[in-house]
Amino acid sequence: METTEKEYLEMAEHCKKLIEKKDKEMDKIKDENEELKKLLMVSYGFIRVVDYYSDDDEVPGECRGLIELLRGYLSTSIDEHILNKKE
């Protein structure tokens, strides 16, 4: 069975459309990833400030413990997902 030039052009056009669709999807994923990284960095900065101000004796120990736990978790997440440091 012979494939005509028209069929080749149709297949090429179809492949081109698929690639363009996938490129748009990848761009969307990259943008979402960037936004999530920004959110992670802002959250880490905020919890560091909260941690700094929670050192006085007016903040219950349980709260300080949770704040330190969250700060550590966010720090590890930034190392892994933004700075690409793997343990």
CA separation, residue 72 to residues 13, 48, 54, 61, 68 (Å): 51, 10, 15, 16, 6
User: Is residue 1 classed as helix, strand or coil in its secondary structure?
Assistant: coil
Look at residue 1 and tell me whether its pLDDT is greater than 60: no
Structural domain range at position 20: 5-81
Q: Is 37 inside any structural domain?
A: yes
Split into its structural domains, the chain has a count of 1
Q: Is 30 inside any structural domain?
A: yes
Predicted pLDDT of residue 43: 95
Q: Say if residue 47 is exposed, middle or buried (CB neighbours under 10 Å; 0-12, 13-18, 19+).
A: buried
pTM: 0.73
Q: Is 86 inside any structural domain?
A: no
Q: In this predicted model, what pLDDT tens digit does every residue of 5-62 receive, in sequence order? A: 889 999 999 999 999 999 999 999 999 999 999 999 999 999 999 998 888 778 888 8
Closest CA to 65 of 84, 86, 50, 77: 50
